[in-house]
């Protein structure tokens, strides 16, 4: 066997060192792209956002929506009131419109058709625009019941329900037959 000279050994040693350094540099370059949690004891802070949009709902509902009187002759019976609830999530100005006047409802000029509004739950309408407990003559024009003064007809559970009592006086000369009228509640967001 032939002996390797010192010069050849030195060249091989330098080549091994160059290859080793090149491999180390390539490895370090690749490691720099990898995120390794630091062990320095310092914490990091990051923030995130949570966004949403709540749509206002303006809606009222007649929870008791019919009054039925007995058929027959005129009596002074008392019936349950119509009940209106604000089922939306916004306070509203509330208007009531009747489908007929007393004369067109009963069919006689001396007939009386009236209604009144009151809080079923305390504070439901702090902005009552009509006299509390006073009867209003039925009208085909809108009548403001709760306005934005005091917040209007509230949407707060426990304070969002009103009673509407109806009073009808039928003259003895009124024509017989079935009689029907409607109450329309219109809610306008405050």
Q: Which residue has the higher pLDDT, 41 or 144?
A: 144
Residue-level pLDDT at 73:
61
Cα(144)–Cα(37) distance, rounded to whole angstroms? 67
Least confident of 17-21, 29-33, 130-134, 178-182: 29-33
Return all residues near 103 (Cβ < 8 A) that are at least 6 apart.
109, 111
Cα(86)–Cα(124) distance, rounded to whole angstroms? 9
Residue-level pLDDT at 72:
61
Q: What pLDDT, in 10s, does the model give residues 20-77? A: 888 888 887 777 777 655 555 566 677 788 888 888 899 999 988 888 776 766 566 6
Residue-level pLDDT at 180:
92
Residue-level pLDDT at 127:
82
Residue-level pLDDT at 147:
92
Residue-level pLDDT at 148:
87
């Amino acid at each position: 066997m032939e002996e390797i000279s010192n010069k050849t050994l030195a060249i091989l040693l330098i080549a091994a060192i160059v290859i080793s350094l090149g491999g180390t540099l390539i490895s370090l370059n690749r490691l720099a792209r990898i995120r390794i949690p630091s062990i320095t004891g310092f914490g990091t802070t990051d923030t995130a956002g949570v966004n949403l949009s709540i749509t206002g709902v303006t809606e009222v509902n007649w929870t008791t929506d019919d009054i039925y009187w007995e058929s027959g002759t005129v009596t002074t019976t008392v019936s349950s009131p119509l009940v209106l609830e604000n089922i939306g999530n916004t306070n509203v100005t509330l208007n009531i419109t009747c489908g007929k006047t007393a004369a067109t409802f009963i069919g006689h000029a001396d007939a009386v058709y009236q209604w009144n509004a009151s809080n079923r739950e305390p504070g439901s309408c702090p902005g009552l625009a009509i006299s509390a407990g006073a009867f209003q003559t039925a009208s085909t024009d809108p009548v403001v019941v709760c306005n934005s003064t005091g917040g209007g007809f509230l949407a707060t559970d426990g304070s969002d329900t009103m009673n509407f009592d109806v009073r009808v006086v039928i003259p003895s000369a009124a024509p017989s037959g079935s009689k029907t009228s409607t109450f329309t509640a219109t809610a306008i967001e405050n």
